[in-house]
Amino acid sequence: MKRLLMLCAMGLGLAGAVQAAGFETRAATPAPALKALDLKGATRTLADYRGKVVVLNFWASWCPPCLREMPSMERLRVKMARRPLAVVALDSAETREEVDAFLSRMTLGFPILLDPDGSNTKRWKVFALPTTFLLDAEGRVRHVLTGPTEWDEGEALVLIESLLAEVSTR
């Protein structure tokens, strides 16, 4: 029931402030397939990021909490520039034009993938935006967050560092 309440609150997107993180830890399950075009028209899959910890964020330009957390994802990317981390943002079920209109207002250095028909959104069973998956370097889902957070601090950073530590000990 708690998850249902969260779903509805996120769906409305009325929360004024960024909420406290509430990551769910998963039992290292293999990630669903990801197949999407990037802004240059190249097909991207998870294999492109193998060997790296991946922050895979599902978002949309009409979703205020999604946009609020974007700057912290960019700060995370800059902070982790020399480390095996990929930040990837997949726009859910919007047109290229809608995505471009948003990107003209915010400069982001991480890859943006497109999912105009929502097929990746459905394959990953994303019911609320933003939803973010933390994948380990072997492409397994380790943590899930429904809702926004500040990605370069707090619980998010602790979890990302723990996944990066696994890479360095391999």
Q: Judged by CB under 8 A, does residue 102 bind another protein?
A: no
Rg of the chain in Å (alpha carbons)? 15
Between 37 and 144, CB nearer to another protein? 144
Please report how close the Cβ of residue 96 comes to another protein at its closest, in angstroms. Answer: 16
Tokens linked to 16 = 């004024």
Kindly identify the residues of this chain, within the stretch 116-135, that bind another protein according to CB under 8 A.
118, 121-122, 124-129, 131, 133
Give the one residue of 36, 46, 141, 164 binding another protein; rule: CB under 8 A. 141
| DSSP label of 149 | -
Fill in the amino acid letter for 17: A
Q: Judged by CB under 8 A, does residue 149 bind another protein?
A: no
Between 72 and 146, CB nearer to another protein? 146
Between 30 and 109, CB nearer to another protein? 30
What does the alpha-carbon distance between residue 31 and residue 70 come to, in Å, rounded to a whole number?
Answer: 23
Q: Judged by CB under 8 A, does residue 57 bind another protein?
A: no
Q: Which residues contact 53 (CB under 8 A, 6 or more apart)?
A: 84, 85, 86, 134, 135, 136, 137, 160, 163, 164, 167
Contact 5, 12 (CB under 8 A): no
Give the one residue of 144, 155, 162, 167 binding another protein; rule: CB under 8 A. 144
